[in-house]
Amino acid sequence: MDISIMSWNMAGAKLFEQLDSRPYPVAGSYTAAFRKTWEESIAVWLQTPDQLQPDIILLQECIGFEDMSTSPSGRWQTGRAILQGIFSGYQCYFFPAVTSHNNPHPGKWNRYTETGDVKNYIPAHVDVQQGYGICIRKGISSRKLWVPWADPENIPPDADLVDTECISCFEPVSITTGLYLGQRDTEPRLVIMGRVKLESEGESRYLNFLNIHLNTLSGEREGNVRLNRRAGASRLRQIELILDNIVSAYQETTHYRIPAGTQQSQRDIWVIGGDFNTTPDSDEINMIRQSGFIDAIPDKRIEDKNPDSALHNKIGSKWSLLDSQTPAINVDYIFCGLEQFTFAEDGLDTTGSKRPFRPYFENPAFASDHAVLLARISL
């Protein structure tokens, strides 16, 4: 059975600086730019010989708006609508992590108000949202995380089927606590857990996936040892929470879920993907590896849409948009593991995975500074 997972930090917050003017939808140009990049750059890269479009797409730094007025104008597009306008062939879901109404520190939002710096300001009745996206390829069977039956013996077949909204097959889990102070260091972080059932040639497996974006501190990786250590320690706490309070907690649950298979070939598959904000030799990544997860994208060399780029064939998944000569760093990953036992080194085949991809943006104002990751896992 093959599993195909894509992860991408879309770096969408720059949209707040470049909203379209009235009466047009505020994210019209943004959506069009990403849709064009998806259709003409990323999709072409994905569909090289023997590749298929991903089953699941995990997205970070997505954006959206919610018009809270009594008479919404239609100008302010939700995060889900924006993603649905970009990724055709997918059911898309948006999970806000930091919003102007729930996290109202002026240091984050003042510049986008009527008296701020941007031309097309955001009125007070609009909740500005930044968070995570998940796109499920149409035809993939999303499943509930929990079912109403406490006793697994009494659970009827397909009790975990969901309606078209699929809300019950996701759960956002906070991995930061504390007051938001308007800057990156205190930005709220979530883990979005989802569950699907994969079926192929009479075989079926459950896939539990986690979409993550770990913490980062301003000024880290610039030579300050104490700051680097503090940043790494904050991510270690987040990874411990993910492994102990999400992955292990779900594995150990015996009530209100479809039980895992007893045979190795029937047990749940786990995928953790996203922007980890840390390098491959860090304690954070070592902790994930030591817990039985395998890096599903072993080749870290960038495949650039423009082969003449200074980044082509260099190691990394994140780069500077302002200085093409600055070396890229590797901070984005997709890890795969199996429930209740550790993979052997040859326990899964990742030869179908692709190198990190730097797509082409016709409008560089919306370009992401992160690579697209595609892991194809054969069990």
344 — pLDDT class (breaks 50, 70, 90): low
Average pLDDT over the chain, rounded to an integer? 92
**264-281: average pLDDT:** 90
Position 292 pLDDT exceeds 90: no
Convert the pLDDT of each residue in 294-335 to its tens digit: 999 999 999 999 999 999 999 999 999 988 788 999 999 999
Instruction: Provide the residue type at 195 as one letter.
Output: R
Q: Can you tell me the distance from the alpha carbon of 304 to that of 314, in angstroms, rounded to the nearest whole number?
A: 9
Crossing angle between the packed helical segments 283-290 and 225-241, to the nearest 10 degrees: 20
Q: Which two tokens stand for residue 180?
A: 């938001």
Q: Which band of pLDDT confidence, cut at 50, 70 and 90, is reported for residue 154? A: confident
Contact 300, 353 (CB under 8 A): no
Length of the chain: 379
Distance CA 356, CA 126 (A): 36
Q: What is the pLDDT of residue 165?
A: 73
From CA 39, how far away is CA 86, in angstroms rounded? 9
Single out the residue of 242, 357, 268 nearest to residue 3, CA to CA: 268
Where are the domains positioned within the chain? Answer: 2-378
- Any idea which architecture 2-378 has in CATH? 4-Layer Sandwich (3.60)
pLDDT at 343 over 60: no
Residue pLDDT, tens place only, 165-218:
778 999 999 999 889 999 999 999 999 999 999 888 778 889 999 999 999 999
Largest interatomic CA distance in the chain: 62
Query: At residue 282, does pLDDT exceed 70?
Result: yes
Cα(215)–Cα(231) distance, integer angstroms: 8
